[in-house]
Chain A
Amino acid sequence: MPKLLSGAEIVFKALEDQKVEYIFGYPGGAVLPIYDELKNHKSIKHILARHEQGAGHSAEGYARSSGKPGVLLVTSGPGATNAVTALTDAYMDSIPLVCISGQVPTHLIGTDAFQECDTTGITRPCTKHNWLVKDVNDLSKVLHLAFEVATTGRPGPVLVDIPKDIQFKKGKYKFFKNTLRKKLNGKATHKISNSELDKFIDLIKKSSKPIFYTGGGVINSGPEASKYLRELVSLTGFPITSTLQGLGAYPGDDPQFLGMLGMHGTYEANNAMHDCDLMINIGARFDDRITGKVDEFSPGSKKIHVDIDPSSIGKNIKVDLAIISDVTELLKSLIKRFKEKNKNFLNSNKQKTSKWWEQIGKWREKKSLNFINSDKIIKPQHAVQRLYELTKNQDTFITTEVGQHQMWAAQHYKFNKPNRWMTSGGLGTMGYGLPAAIGVQIANPGKLVVDIAGEASVLMTMQEMSTAVQYRLPIKIFILNNEYMGMVRQWQELLHEKNYSESYTAALPDFVKLAESYGCVGIRAKTPGELDDKIKEMISIDRPVIFDCVVDKAENCFPMIPSGKPHNQMILGPEEEEEISDEGKILV
């Protein structure tokens, strides 16, 4: 007869067997038995957030920068509902999270008890799967299954809701491995066939205007995938562009890289996507910020789509060759087969793509990321460029909030390695970057972690500075402070006759004093002249820093594909701004 354990003990036993080192959480009545058990498990460190949303984003930052699932522990009712934003964020960006929530005792479920809510009901649409555990003997199986669901196939968040009485009850513990009857999302059921690979290679050989379009799937597949991607791109000599989430999978400063594509992507990337004859989508999902109007999206191209999630294929864009696979596995076998049959492809094919590269060169000459700099006022793009120049020689991790600063960071900060760029792309969660930086710093002690932030976003989760101070996490909050919700203001300028309705924050805290009151360091830069020295000062401080970078209030983020225009007609700068049709204004 195996020893019986309490539900709370089973939780920790399962976490230990899953090799969990950190949990991010916040205690409350319905999880007290689990918190009580924490002291007996020294290998697991609990990071106390200041709000469950913060704990969730920290767990996301931890997961994205380490490749391991993030674990979140919250109480019932408000604890669970506060975690919903983070769960949805993780769901949209395919981040593996395991959220354990307390629930009122089973006999009180359904009675509108204190801090009761229908947690599994509320989180059903924002998790891959969730469980309400009503029998302590199911608990170990459910917990291990939860880790498996979160991390296999297309990763994502899961939630296990454990009523308080189950946490006390004694039951059997067993370590379950690979409990799923079928592998999720077709990952293991599909073996890549040679005929698929040959079709792939054939399309590569036939094309004269090819482009790689890569996304977060490359990052999620692990560091191996980035290595193989680099190999394939250099084997073919083709140009490559990346989505917001894919940045870092391919070196941002490589000449074959055209920059990010999409709504605020580069002129060359978007035009190449529009005019190409072969689009090779690896681990991206034809999101609406990329495709624009689907009927006019890259009309003349053959399209290959590699995705681990079968439901991603054909959802938005019809493709000519679909391969359901993990990116690493596909690239590995593709490169092997390609090399066998096509020795010296790069040189023999140079001629064929030379016109294409010439055209790309012409688009590049537009220098679409250029901006008019100033020596009086700090331009936000300039600030990001300086931050990049001053940090590029060390292994730096960047998180962001959501808005203009996020796009400027994506445009001007060049990433060379995967897992160095953590941003909320799918859900677009303001307030993501600061708590995410906490998780990143925990997973990467000793490394430089910078949250490129906007002053409006960062105030949404500012309380987490207190967490950073408590655990001595020297994160740097680099605020591009323009006193506006910048992206809202930009849309109002371009689409709503400059009616800046509620996008200006008339009362902001003094961020330097705020930093001091949190027990961290505040720095302010007001002029371009002092910017470099202040950034260097920030980097040199081994404590959390809030950097208030006072920037031009009126700067807009370009290039931009405006509403009411086809995908290959971008606005490149303020001189090109023009009226947008009434029809265009209604769109998001």
Chain B
Amino acid sequence: MAKSKSAYSVPGKIGKIERHIIVVWVDNEAGVLARIAGLFSGRGYNIESLAVAEVDKKKHISRITIVTEGTPQVIEQINLQLKKLVPVHKVADFKRGEKDILFRELAMFKILGNTKKIEKVKKICKKFNPVILDKTNKSVVIQVTALRAEIDKLALDLKSLGLISTSRTGAVAMTKGSKIFS
């Protein structure tokens, strides 16, 4: 469609897209994930990955880690909109690549192959804390923890070595040193 000249509903200048990791502490109650996910879909924001689990059994607080992409304005809106939700306690926001934040994803790979092939697999996975979770004479389930791009590459490399199934988590994040998220 031709470029619009209208005074109405014309998209403004689009800022640079950044990838952010947003950590949200919420009451672990029914529907809370739907509220978060609905906020993202309803306002047209992206969720690249999502990791949720209760971290405080007593107070029933869940920690949600969301990887998202957007312009600085959109990221700011995401933060502010999240804070308005009633079950949300706090929100922390980090730009991907910030130095004092740790990120990890976990993946499980199931690989079919003989011992020789499996040895090769172990070697490729060596840098990523591999753990053999299950082993038979023709298959292996291997767990790795790494960054998203590393797991992407690993999955690609393992394809030719008999990878038949992949299961991955979203990213989780934590600050380095003695500081905690605030």
Contact = CB atoms under 8 A, between A and B. Distances in A.
A405 interface: no
A362 to B, nearest CB: 22
Contacts of B10: 293-295, 587
* Number of chain A interface residues as a range: 35 or more
B81 interface: yes
A586 B30 contact: no
Nearest to A310: B80
B77 A311 contact: yes
Nearest to B7: A292
Contacts of B73: 314-315
A288 B84 contact: no
Contacts of A588: 8-9
A351 B35 CA distance: 54
B31 A124 contact: yes
Contacts of B13: 295
Contacts of A124: 31, 34-35, 38
Is chain B's interface secondary structure helix, strand, loop, or mixed overall?
Answer: loop
Interface residues of B, number: 28
Contact of B6 (A120, A310, A587): A587
A311 B9 CA distance: 20
Contact of A564 (B6, B42, B80, B86): B6
Given A295-B13, A315-B77, A184 B6 contact: no
Interface in B1-44: 1-10, 12-13, 30-31, 34-35, 38, 42
A563 B6 contact: yes
Contacts of A310: 80, 83-84
A567 interface: yes
B6 A583 contact: yes
A65 to B, nearest CB: 27
Contacts of B34: 121, 124
A120 B31 contact: yes
A581 B7 contact: no
**Which of B2, B13, B84: most chain A CB closer than 10 A?**
B84
B56 interface: no
B76 A314 contact: yes
A263 B9 CA distance: 12
Nearest to B2: A583
Contacts of B80: 310-311, 313
Nearest to A581: B5
A185 B84 contact: yes
A263 B84 CA distance: 30
Contacts of B76: 314
B38 A125 contact: yes
B84 A309 contact: yes
Given A184-B84, A184-B86, A587 B9 contact: yes
Contacts of A294: 10, 12
**Which of B3, B34, B80: most chain A CB closer than 10 A?**
B80
11 contacts: A121-B34, A180-B86, A185-B84, A289-B8, A292-B7, A293-B8, A311-B81, A314-B76, A563-B6, A564-B6, A588-B8
Interface of A: 120-121, 124-125, 128-129, 132, 149, 180-181, 184-185, 263, 288-289, 292-295, 309-311, 313-315, 561-567, 581-584, 586-588
**Closest 9 pairs (CB-CB, A-B):** A292-B7, A311-B80, A587-B6, A294-B12, A129-B86, A563-B6, A583-B4, A584-B6, A293-B10
